[in-house]
Amino acid sequence: MTIAIVAAMHEELSALLAQMPDEQRVRVAGRDFWVGHLNGQAVVAVLSRIGKVAAALTATVLLERFGVQAIVFTGVAGGLAPGVRVGDVVVATRLLQHDLDASPIFPKYEVPLTGHARFAADTEISEALAEVAAEVLVDPVALLGQKVVDDFGLRLPAVHRGLLVSGDRFVSTAAESAALRLALPDALAVEMEGAAVAQVCHDYGVPFAAVRTISDRADDEAHGDFTRFVSAVASRYSLALVGAWLAA
């Protein structure tokens, strides 16, 4: 069984890529697919680049060219729900494209002709990722070091499970995140790829899961918070969460 590990940006996956001892680079569609092992598990790791089209293309190549049997997306997201803070982890149970609207022909958010707006993540993988995340977050100092914990104020990071929404927009104003909260009150966090990959995996009948660390609150400070978090912290979470899950 080969599992795909995908993140949008190098900063989100660099620590994990550094732990693959035997990776071989295969270049397809301008992307590097790293084929090898992580903690004894056969994996293909790849950077999708940012946005729904880039992510959907990457997922399709993983399924068609590499025959992966599951796809896990990792990286960062902007917190939307009130209790979802920087440093927390969100494991998706369902994913929706918040910028998809073919109404009145189809209901808002519904992917036309599928009958679905919310695509389910694989229960087994998602539960296992959430369990691992809860264990890892018990000791953020062991995970990230005292300085990072102090710099980012990561006192007691929490694990949340629920709706993750994706769109081709970096949400960087309080007004925009408030509008998303109003339209989708159960959305925990927002990013730019997950729901697109969930749709592709649904079409192929392949399990999908997404585990994201909150880098910002999708508000007026999102730009600065995101930039600081991805450069200093993001890939360490990805390695700890996905690495521990693969080792389990």
Summarize as ranges the residues that interact with ligand ADE (CB under 6 A). Answer: 76-78, 170-172, 190-192, 215-216, 218, 222, 226
Nearest CB to ligand ADE, comparing residues 26 and 174: 174
150 is known as an active-site residue: no
Give least dist CB 176 to ligand ADE, A: 9
Q: Which of 12, 88, 122, 176 is catalytic?
A: 12
Minimum CB–partner distance for residue 97 and ligand ADE (Å): 12
Residue 201's SS3 state is helix
Which of 5, 63 has the CB closer to ligand ADE? 5
- Give the separation between CA 202 and CA 208, rounded to whole angstroms: 8
Burial class (CB in 10 A: 0-12, 13-18, 19+), 162: middle
Q: Which residue in 122, 176, 216, 225 is the catalytic one?
A: 216
What is the maximum span of the chain, computed from C-alpha positions, in angstroms?
53
Token digits of residue 228: 């600081």
Q: Give least dist CB 79 to ligand ADE, A.
A: 8
Taking the least distance from each CB to ligand ADE, the nearer of 144 and 210 is 210
Q: What is the DSSP letter of 234?
A: H
Q: Which residue is nearest to ligand ADE (CB)?
A: 78
**Is the CB of residue 57 less than 8 Å from the CB of residue 29?**
yes
Nearest-5° Cα angle at 242, 189 to 35: 120
Q: Compare residues 138 and 175 and give the one whose CB is closer to ligand ADE.
A: 175
Q: Is 124 a catalytic residue?
A: no
User: Cα–chain-centroid distance for residue 237?
Assistant: 11
The sign one gets for the Cα dihedral 80, 84, 88, 94 is negative
Residue 233 CB, nearest distance to ligand ADE (Å)?
Answer: 12
Catalytic residues: 12, 216
